[in-house]
Chains A and B, each alone.
Chain A
Amino acid sequence: AQSVTQLGSHVSVSEGALVLLRCNYSSSVPPYLFWYVQYPNQGLQLLLKYTSAATLVKGINGFEAEFKKSETSFHLTKPSAHMSDAAEYFCAVSYPNRDDKIIFGKGTRLHILP
């Protein structure tokens, strides 16, 4: 079964430090990949998506992610963390030309230390 795994349910980084949130997918066919952010009591907001074009995808708020087929990974990074980045981040996968539904990982809560 296709799935997505996020390593680390909680990640803490200092303000100004590199943010790295890990995501791996399991699939025999190339998926579409997404990162969503959820602030407290809010819905999910799309940060970025990979749809088989450039493997390095730039998103909003300075985030980017790189699709690495050999590693089946789609890790999210940001060079310098800001206090406002504290939120829950979800990696997700979908399969075009199939049922198109999005399957979410369990999420990683990002904490920013002053």
Chain B
Amino acid sequence: EAGVVQSPRYKIIEKKQPVAFWCNPISGHNTLYWYRQNLGQGPELLIRYENEEAVDDSQLPKDRFSAERLKGVDSTLKIQPAELGDSAVYLCASSTQGRGYTFGSGTRLTVV
């Protein structure tokens, strides 16, 4: 089966510009996660979806970050406007009960 697919792999933008990341989870995985991984750190959860419902977005900076998973399948994470401190790797993962997480390769964002 195909893994979790993320695009783009790399993105360089100027500060104050918008950016969007896309994630296609494994087919049948109803739970989708977005994590942010800063350099030299472990991933930190931004938002978790159960199907199309965001059930945990407590760590999502809502002033500039937004996410959607309209049909309960693929998801988009957006930052508008981006700040220098947003430079990080954004990881998407999906899971279904009892089978553990599968991570995508991530999108490395550099804000200049």
Contacts and interface: CB of A to CB of B under 8 A. Distances in A.
A106 B48 contact: no
B26 to A, nearest CB: 13
Interface string A78-114: 0000000000001010000001111111110000000
Interface residues of B, number: 24
Contacts of B103: 36, 43-45
Nearest to B45: A101
B43 A104 contact: yes
B21 interface: no
B85 interface: no
A42 interface: yes
A46 interface: yes
A107 B41 contact: yes
A99 B50 CA distance: 11
Nearest to A41: B108
Interface of B: 4, 6, 31, 33, 40-45, 48, 55-56, 91, 93, 95, 100-106, 108
Interface of A: 9, 34, 36, 41-46, 49, 90, 92, 99-107
